[in-house]
Structure 1
Amino acid sequence: MTVRLAMITPDNVEAALRIRVRPEQQRHVEPVAVSLAEAYAWGDTAWPRLILDGDRTVGFLMAFIGIPWNPAVDPGDRRSGLWRLNIAADEQSRGYGRFAVGAVGEEIGRRGGDRLFTTWEQGESGPGAFYTKLGFRSTGETSGGQTVGVLDLTHAS
């Protein structure tokens, strides 16, 4: 596997927009087009990337870097993590999701962070089992009705 991340550019944006998850997963993750619009709106806090295996587009991820989580409660609580993960339907179960989480963790670590946050919807076709298998634990919080999970990067494998 020669998996790598690539910035979204005019040359690959169409490939990004063609990524589709499995039909039963569509209610759990926004389409890439929505993520790219949010990346534009969030500017420097959004970190969108294509996931490539060789020259083949296999997925999309978007991280968030250093956003204020709940400034009214704790102004110093700034979090970074995985905002979106879309692995193409026919590319799932090949390690690309695990690679994506690891790559986001590395980027957060390069920026001085030691925790990787994400959210997921509960449900049979939701990604909760995937995240808990990677070592995420629930924080007991919710965001937009989704479970908030955290991965301690100082102990991640």
Structure 2
Amino acid sequence: MSLKPGQEEFLAPVSYGLATAVVDPKTSWQRVVRDDDRVVAFISANFDPEAPREEFRSVLWRINVEGIDQDRGIGRFAVEHLREEARRRGFDHVNVIYEPGESGPEAFFRRVGFEPIGETEYGEVIAQIRA
């Protein structure tokens, strides 16, 4: 999958997101979104009520939408399914942690309903959406 120019700098390596599935596949949730036979998005989250930090108990780790397919509602569709999964697992919210920046994901997260609730010790934004 390719992103729009400038978006790559806000992305953790794919191996970071995939590591959560290897660590505990019971709490990891990963899906792709397809348009016919073509993968147009990937979303990865974790639901672990025993995570030592609250912001990691119900968290969106990654959402990537193919650059040419952005602004078609695919990301919103994926986030809605994420919220359904959170509710199914007994969570009332989902967090996301992102780095602020001009070409970053903040505008998208706000459009789909995430609201900033804090900041990490590294200056990243912690945002939350109700499930």
Query: Same fold per TM (> 0.5)?
Result: yes
Asked if 1:62 corresponds to 2:44, the answer is yes
Aligned pair partner of 1:51 in 33, 39, 44: 33
Instruction: Tell me the percent identity.
Output: 38
- Tell me, yes or no, if the aligned pair for 2:97 and 2:126 is still in contact at 8 Å: yes
- Tell me, yes or no, if the aligned pair for 2:33 and 2:39 is still in contact at 8 Å: yes
- Tell me, yes or no, if the aligned pair for 1:32 and 1:86 is still in contact at 8 Å: no
Aligned pairs for 1:1-150 (under 5 A) are: 19-66=1-48, 68-70=51-53, 79-142=57-120, 144-150=122-128
Question: Gaps spanning 5+ residues in structure 2: where?
Answer: none
* Structure label with greater radius of gyration: 1
> Is the partner of 2:100 in helix, strand or coil?
coil
Q: CA deviation at 1:65?
A: 0.7
Normalised to the residue count of structure 2, the TM-score between the two structures is: 0.85
Q: Distance in 2 between matches of 1:44 and 1:144?
A: 28
- Give the number of aligned pairs: 130
Q: CA deviation at 1:60?
A: 0.6
Q: CA deviation at 1:31?
A: 4.3
Q: Which amino acid aligns with 1:87?
A: V
> Is the partner of 1:43 in helix, strand or coil?
coil
Pick closer, same or farther for the CA change 1:111–1:132 going to 2, 3 Å.
Answer: same
Q: CA deviation at 1:79?
A: 2.1
